[in-house]
Structure 1
Amino acid sequence: MTLKVGAHVSISGSKVSSDPETPPHGNLADAVFRQTQFGGNCGQIFTHSPQVWQDPDVGDEEATQFREGTARDLDGPWVIHTSYLVNLCTPKAGLREKSLDSMQKEVDAAHQLDIPYVNVHLGAHTGAGVEGGLDNAASVIDDIDVPDDVTILIESDAGSGTKLGGDFEHLAAVIDRTTTEIDVCIDTAHAFAAGYDLSSADAVDEAVAEFDDVVGLDHLQCIHLNDSKHECGTNKDEHAHIGEGYIGDEGMERIVNHPALADVPFVLETPTEDGRGFAWNIERVRELRHD
């Protein structure tokens, strides 16, 4: 089994040099360079600021540099994370249309960049109810023209308020209701906050078995590997350094070595604080791995 571990890296900055021997200076192609600097071999990006409605703006040369750099320097895969404004579960027609348009542009960008996955939160039902929200999410997904080489991943949530995705059953329900082939990304901090204990080897084994029973491990294509600053079941989403939160070393060690998870790409969204960032956390994952 090959350890695939990397970080969510920024693409902000100026344009990349056309000289492949010159380190890039901060656009989409720079994500490859930054990933190698952190010691990662796969990863995740936003194609634009996640706080606004904005279309990906990827030029042909930039896309070529990204694809060539990835093939040359990384094992892959990359994941595109959609805007935080996207809400698949919304009952509001205007927000649904904006979310659908944004999703369409993200899957098209993924196709352009040879990125196999687009990751999205289900969002909040805001009064439509759980069943109504799940129906809405499936409806939006089925209205997207997804390229054959791209798969939408629905991400697990911490489960606060009317947000859906905190229960494995929510993920399974959307898979069952959509005619589109979709898969899942589990965020360990979110799952922990939603009440799935991951703080011991036995707890991880139980959670993995439950996921397999409810959703199916064949649908798990990515893991956002994050520790949690808050206790299990608090519904509070705040990430901690690997092994430094309430999941801790034992839980993290079992996650990265569990035979059903060990070959799944691990993408870190850990904080940069206390003098430690992605490089420290990626190295910590490698230390916990038994290969």
Structure 2
Amino acid sequence: MLKIGCHLSTTKGFENMGKEALKIGANTFQFFTRNPRGGKAKEIEETDIQGLINIINENNFAKVLAHAPYTLNGCSADANTRKFAIEMMSDDLKRMEYLPNNLYNFHPGSHVKQGVDVGINYIVEMLNEVLKPEQTTKVLLETMAGKGTEIGRSFEEIAEIISKVELKEHMGVCLDTCHVYDSGYDIVNELDKVLDEFDKIIGLDRLYAIHLNDSKNPFSSHKDRHEKIGDGFIGINAIEKIINHPKLRHLPFFLETPNELDGYAKEIALLKSIYRND
């Protein structure tokens, strides 16, 4: 069975996200832990969380993916911004324990001309402060497109971060198809080669989720602009190979394409139709 979902809004609560996922044919979903451009998180209502947990258990959902806000930049040149990132991620991970044994994804951040080495060390410092031995949440570094001074544009940068984290057992990776294509990994023509490289440098055992997006821009553009499935430079043939690849097909796929709910429903139906249940 294809594990597929999309990005849903927390505005109406957690249980409602589960209901919306079912409505559009999804069996998982992604959500922001708080306003993606802000810092304050909504109060958690335990009955609302329990309603979602019931839906997840009754409908055999795959793990759901929480996404940190875009304002979280643990490798900023500004000390207050780094402090804010630590506080925000620490709070997010505490809140995630209301929904245990799921996934939390974040963008590594931008080093803002300090250099990659300095940026990586700041990210590692943040992770070593916020990760706790008792947590049940897997924290995922997202692969990035490489615009500006982003960290995470290469498998080597992701691997270096993980190698320096003390509690490595809590760490994993979310591979974004638009991002890796834009950063220079040819998943259209050389998918096997890219996955072999990922396995050699990071390890496929660290890959826990995939952001499934087409790209508005051509290969190695470093632009990071998502497109609807089949309408971009990656294309439906490559997407079909990705969701059916023996090294990927067991993973949960999360759509971040420019859609409303009805558009996501159509994409999910399309992807289910080209997924081989064998």
TM-score greater than 0.5 by the shorter chain: yes
Aligned to 1:199: 188
1:128 to 96, 114, 119: 114
Letter in 2 for 1:186: L
Does the 8 A contact of 2:24 with 2:262 survive in 1?
A: no
Count the aligned residue pairs.
274
The answer to whether residue 217 in structure 2 is matched with residue 230 in structure 1 is: yes
Q: Which runs of 5+ in 2 are unaligned?
A: none
Aligned to 2:174: 185
Letter in 1 for 2:102: P
1:252 to 239, 249, 265: 239
SS at match of 1:213: helix
C-alpha deviations, 1:60-79, integer Å up to 9, x for none?
A: 21121121222123422101
1:162 to 133, 146, 149: 149
Displacement of 1:148 in angstroms is 2.5
Does the 8 A contact of 1:11 with 1:28 survive in 2?
A: yes
Displacement of 1:114 in angstroms is 2.3
Give the TM-score normalised by structure 1.
0.90
Which sits farther off after the overlay, 144-153 or 33-42? 144-153
1:272 to 232, 254, 259: 259
Aligned to 1:104: 90
Pairing of 1:62-101 with structure 2 (within 5 A): 62-101=48-87
SS at match of 1:166: coil
Does the 8 A contact of 1:80 with 1:115 survive in 2?
A: no
Aligned to 2:203: 216
SS at match of 1:87: coil
Does the 8 A contact of 1:55 with 1:102 survive in 2?
A: no
Aligned to 1:15: none
Give the TM-score normalised by structure 2.
0.94
Does the 8 A contact of 2:138 with 2:172 survive in 1?
A: yes
C-alpha deviations, 1:158-210, integer Å up to 9, x for none?
A: 1001011111111101010111221000000011111111223xx11111111
Aligned to 1:45: 31
Displacement of 1:256 in angstroms is 0.6
Q: In 1, distance between residues paired with 2:87 and 2:135? A: 18
Q: In 1, distance between residues paired with 2:92 and 2:252? A: 20
Displacement of 1:288 in angstroms is 2.0
Aligned to 1:18: none
Q: Which runs of 5+ in 1 are unaligned?
A: 13-25
The answer to whether residue 6 in structure 2 is matched with residue 7 in structure 1 is: yes
Q: In 2, distance between residues paired with 1:145 and 1:192? A: 30
Which sits farther off after the overlay, 82-91 or 144-153? 144-153
Letter in 2 for 1:188: T
Letter in 1 for 2:183: A
Displacement of 1:55 in angstroms is 2.6
Instruction: Let me know the Cα RMSD of the aligned residues.
Output: 1.5
C-alpha deviations, 1:197-254, integer Å up to 9, x for none?
A: 1223xx1111111111111100000000001111011111111121221111221111
SS at match of 1:9: coil
Report % sequence identity: 31
Letter in 2 for 1:6: G
Does the 8 A contact of 1:67 with 1:114 survive in 2?
A: no
Does the 8 A contact of 1:158 with 1:235 survive in 2?
A: yes
Does the 8 A contact of 1:156 with 1:187 survive in 2?
A: yes
Displacement of 1:111 in angstroms is 0.9
Q: In 2, distance between residues paired with 1:167 and 1:145? A: 23
Q: Hey, which bits of structure 1, 4+ residues long, moved more than 3 A? A: none
C-alpha deviations, 1:97-149, integer Å up to 9, x for none?
A: 10011101111111112251110000000122001111111110010043431
